[in-house]
Every structure is written in structure tokens, then in C-alpha cells.
Amino acid sequence: MRKWIWGAIALIAVALFAFFAFAPGYVEKGMNQVVATKLPTVSDSTRKLHAGLQIADMHEDTLLWKRDVLERASRGHVDLPRLIEGNVALQIFSSVTKTPKGQNYDANSAETDNITMLAVAQLQPPRTWTSLLERSLFHAQKLERAAARSEGRLHVIRSPGELDVLLAARAAGQKAVGGLLSIEGLQNMEGKLENLDRLYSAGFRMAGLVHFFDNEIAGSMHGEQKGGLTPLGRQTVRRMEQLGMIVDIAHSSHATVAEVLKIARRPVVSSHGGVQAVCKVNRNLSDEEIRGVAKTGGVVGIGYWDAAICGTEPEKVAAAIAHVRDLVGIDHVGLGSDFDGAVTTGFDTAQLIYVTQALVDRGFTPEEIGKVMGGNVLRVLRAGMVPGRI
């Protein structure tokens, strides 16, 4: 009998080891895919142009997954070797803290959460199992520790001055990438305005108000009520501008977007998504909303997955970018990949040269391409990260 018990315990131990060792990677591999798609032929002139760009991507979710951002992975879309290969100067890393079961673009309840099981399966600190705030603080710590081990290849960016140091290092020939922390949905404030200050202190410099469900801050485009800003939400927007955190309207309901654009005193961004005129999906921005973002001096980030651009080809990315340029001008559009955000794309971050080529093929000038691929985002960060000036 004792032998049988020990055998059963051994089997359970092996099963648990296999679960914790392999399940997180297996789940991610099925959710962050790169599929064969039509890619343009890259010219020598485009290679030269691309090598001189300061590329900035406004949104991806790599910190959610259990892998070392410093090591090249066989799954997903982003890691430091691929960022360097793609010539990315600045990557904005988002903290995802909660997603609903049965997640969809139409309507989701806030009552369920997929991330809790993922946090347990990844053997994250127990404090992250029950607190959305602690999940974001853990993500910030994860990026800081990676930067400390990177031998100067990864810089955590918290201010315009640190951004200048990064760009100077790159100009001197260093293979360096900046990482800036963002938040996908301020449900991680856990209903307390003072927690926004804790997130700022941890290094977060951008935040989306909502994700796939309504929260204490605002209504989501994918929520059940789809309302506007709450009283706490209006306080939060004002406090973000005081601190030097960029307000991100991605995933926000139409009512929330309208209210934010009305009260904003600093540039507002839509970090990742598409535009209704090119791809009529409910989460994409209307022309009126694009005009509103531009009026604040902000930027619309164009994603690379099907629901954002109705395809996965770089040409589709360029088409959405062209629409924003033609509507409000070249200064108000940029990149917002949503890499590693449970999306399927036609290329990863090492292959961003295909986006550059698609823009060249569409007739964008080198100056316009420089703004789209990073210049516009860097401008907004310089303005938005300065605290107190509102």
C-alpha cells in the first residue's frame, strides 16, 4: 500500500512538473503566431533607409509570457535579439492583468479572468495570483531585471532625458533598444486613484483606460455597458496628465473616446488598432475619432493583425497608415503592432523592414516614413512624459 501511495505521489509530481514547465509555452505558441503572407521584395535603397530609422512601436504584450526577453525565442513575436534585428529603437511593453473568458470584440463581462491561471501556471509570485496591481508591478520588475542583465542593450525609459541617452547611444553605433512601460486597462488601479501613483513610481509612462471589459475607470468598446468615463475615470485622466503618463484610448468605447478627447490637455494616443474606413471592425477608429486624436497632437498606432487591418500583409498596414495621413496629416500616425498580444501576424519584429518597403511602394517619402516608423511616437513621448505642465 505504501509503495502504491509513493508511486501515485511520483506520478502527480511528474504531471505537475510537466504542467508548470510546458503548459505556459504551449499556450503561448498557439496564441502568438506568424503565418505565411504576401511580403514585398525589399530593395537595396529600402534597406539603407530602414537602417537609418528610429523605429518606435506603441504596443506589445511580451511581459505577459514566461520567457526571457533577452533570449531569441522560437515562439511569439518579440525579444531583444529580434528587436535589434528589426532596428527598433523603442518598444513600449504593455502590462496585461486581466482578460475575460470567451473574449470577443462585442460584449464581455468583467466577472471572469484568464490571467489568474496563467500567473499560477507560470509560478509567478503568489501576490500576483490575487492582485491586478501586483501583476503590473511584477511586469515592471521583470523588465527592470532584464535591462540590468542586458549589458547595456536594453534601456528602461522613464523620461525624455533617458530617451535622449538611448538615442545618443544608438547614434554612436550601440545596438541598444529602449523599453517603456504601459498598461492595458487601468483595472489594475483596483478602484483607488492613489494606485496610479504607485504604477507611475514603478516606471509606467502610458496607460490604456480599459481592455476587453468595462472597469471602474471607463467603458470598453467590448464591455457590456460601453459607457463613458466614470468620476474616477475623469480624475484618473487628469492625474495621468499631471504625472506625465500618456493617455491611451485603445479598446475604449465611443463614449469614453469622446469624453477623453474633450477634456484632454495633452496628446492622446490610440496605441494599437486600425481604422474603420479601411477595416470595418468595431474596435477600429472612426474618421471623427481620428480627427479628435490629431487635434490633441496625438498619434494613431496601426496594428498588424487581421481585425485591425483586415489581413496580415504589410501592404494592409500601409493602407491604414495612408488613410490616417490623408485624413489628418503624416504627424498623427505610427506603429502599434500588438505583437505577443494573442494575435496572428504575417511577420515578427525582426521583419519590420517589410513595413518600410510597403510604405515605399505606396509612395511615402523618406521623411514621411521616418515620422510613421517612429518619429511621431517619440515626439508624443517627449511631450507627454514631462510632469506637471498641463
| pLDDT band (50, 70, 90) for residue 25 | low
Cα separation values, 41 from 38, 82, 356, 368, 388, Å: 10, 20, 11, 20, 47
Mean pLDDT of the region 328-354:
98
Pick from 26-40, 43-57, 188-202, 335-349: least confident: 26-40
Q: Residue 112 and residue 103: Cα distance in Å, rounded? A: 10
**pTM confidence score:** 0.93
Question: Model confidence over 275-317: pLDDT tens digits?
Answer: 999 999 999 999 999 999 999 999 999 999 999 999 999 999 9
Question: Residue 189 pLDDT > 60, yes or no?
Answer: yes
Q: Residue 232 and residue 123: Cα distance in Å, rounded? A: 33
| pLDDT band (50, 70, 90) for residue 389 | low
**CATH class as words, domain 32-384:** alpha beta
Dihedrals phi, psi of 101, to nearest 5 degrees? -65, 145
| pLDDT band (50, 70, 90) for residue 60 | very high
User: Could you please report the per-residue DSSP string of 160-210?
Assistant: HHHHHHHHHHHHTT---EEEEEEEE-GGGGTT-THHHHHHHHTTEEEEES-
Residue 31 has a pLDDT of 87
pLDDT over 70, % of the chain: 93
Smallest CA-to-CA distance from 335 within 254, 287, 269, 276 is with 269
| pLDDT band (50, 70, 90) for residue 152 | very high
Residue 2 has a pLDDT of 60
Question: Residue 15 pLDDT > 50, yes or no?
Answer: no
Beta strand extents in 76-153 (DSSP E only): 88-96
Question: Model confidence over 159-186: pLDDT tens digits?
Answer: 999 999 999 999 999 999 999 999 999 9
| pLDDT band (50, 70, 90) for residue 30 | confident
Question: Residue 10 pLDDT > 70, yes or no?
Answer: no
Question: Model confidence over 201-241: pLDDT tens digits?
Answer: 999 999 999 999 999 999 999 999 999 999 999 999 999 99
Residue 23 has a pLDDT of 54
Mean pLDDT of the region 322-337:
98
The CB density around residue 387, as the number of other CB atoms within 10 Å, is 13
Residue with cell 515592471: 140
Mean pLDDT of the region 31-58:
97
Q: Residue 42 and residue 60: Cα distance in Å, rounded? A: 25
Q: Residue 378 and residue 389: Cα distance in Å, rounded? A: 18
Question: Residue 390 pLDDT > 80, yes or no?
Answer: no
Residue 11 has a pLDDT of 42
Question: Model confidence over 78-114: pLDDT tens digits?
Answer: 999 999 999 999 999 999 999 999 999 999 999 999 9
Average pLDDT, the chain: 94
